[in-house]
Amino acid sequence: MRLRSIKNADERLIEHPRIVHNEKENRGKWKEIFDNDNPIHIEIGMGKGQFISTMAKNNPNINYIGFEKFTNVLVRALKNLNEENVNNVLAVRMDVEEILEVFEESEIDRIYLNFSDPWPKDRHEKRRLTHHGFLERYNSILSPNGTICFKTDNKDLFDFSLEEIEKHGWKLKKVTRDLHSSVYVEGNVMTEYEEKFVSLGMPIYRLEASR
């Protein structure tokens, strides 16, 4: 479903202090931007920002950067960023295809992929955020002990992701096909999508992967 356009969306992003506009110029300098040496976690596809703003509030000693390519979605996320009033979260409007131009090698400690577009048609599999083409990018920017945390409601995407991750030499842990009935639910922060799916009784698939 297409999101309704928001009046003056671009202007609202330009004026907001949590939105970064010169992200590629900050490559290798993100700890300077945050003005500390805390670990940096990123969420690719932050949606309306509920997850990342809550994580930032709950973990003040971790820095967070959310990526969202759709302007109208990112503008809607400003409400969550404003309400939590945290200083350790920033947001960037861009496509993950360019992630290597934003971070240096080993600059990131954790990547969150929450309810990514499943791209169900076989001809679109390269667009899935757990495709090995993206895994190679993540491997470059993650620290040696870095981790990918992936959640989805889509069984086919989860099966594809398991296969891609194992096939390309990543180590799996905390794998579950029903997060909210597992021991891994402790400390779980839900996205807007997750709340909806759980309310409908749908299982949430989750995994972590590291090199």
pLDDT for the residue numbered 6: 63
21, HSE (Cβ side, Cα atoms, 13 Å): 9
Answer yes or no: is 74 within a domain: yes
Answer yes or no: is 4 within a domain: no
* Catalytic one of 10, 95, 117, 159: 117
Q: Which of 55, 100, 72 is nearest to 191 (CA)?
A: 55
Answer yes or no: is 2 within a domain: no
pLDDT band at 81; cut points 50, 70, 90: confident
What's 188's DSSP letter? -
Mean pLDDT, to the nearest integer, of 11-34?
Answer: 90
Digit-coded pLDDT (tens) for 136-182: 999 999 999 999 999 999 999 999 999 999 999 999 999 999 999 99
Strand pairing partners for 70?
Answer: none
Answer yes or no: is 128 within a domain: yes
Q: How far apart are CA 146 and CA 124, in angstroms?
A: 27
Digit-coded pLDDT (tens) for 93-117: 998 999 999 999 999 999 999 999 9
Answer yes or no: is 1 within a domain: no
Which residue range(s) make up the domain with 54? 9-210
Tokens of 79: 């409400």
pLDDT for the residue numbered 119: 96
How many domains does the chain divide into?
1
Helix, strand counts (H, E) of the chain: 7, 8
Q: Among this protein's residues, is 10 annotated catalytic?
A: no
pLDDT for the residue numbered 71: 87
pLDDT exceeds 80 at position 83: no
Answer yes or no: is 93 within a domain: yes
CATH label of the domain that carries residue 190 = 3.40.50.150
CA distances from 209 to 22, 33, 42, 84, 206 (A): 30, 28, 15, 29, 10
Q: How far apart are CA 38 and CA 109, in angstroms?
A: 10
Mean pLDDT, to the nearest integer, of 2-25?
Answer: 77
Question: Structure pTM?
Answer: 0.93
pLDDT band at 198; cut points 50, 70, 90: very high
Answer yes or no: is 134 within a domain: yes
pLDDT exceeds 80 at position 8: no
Answer yes or no: is 37 within a domain: yes
* 118 CB neighbour count, 10 Å cutoff: 20
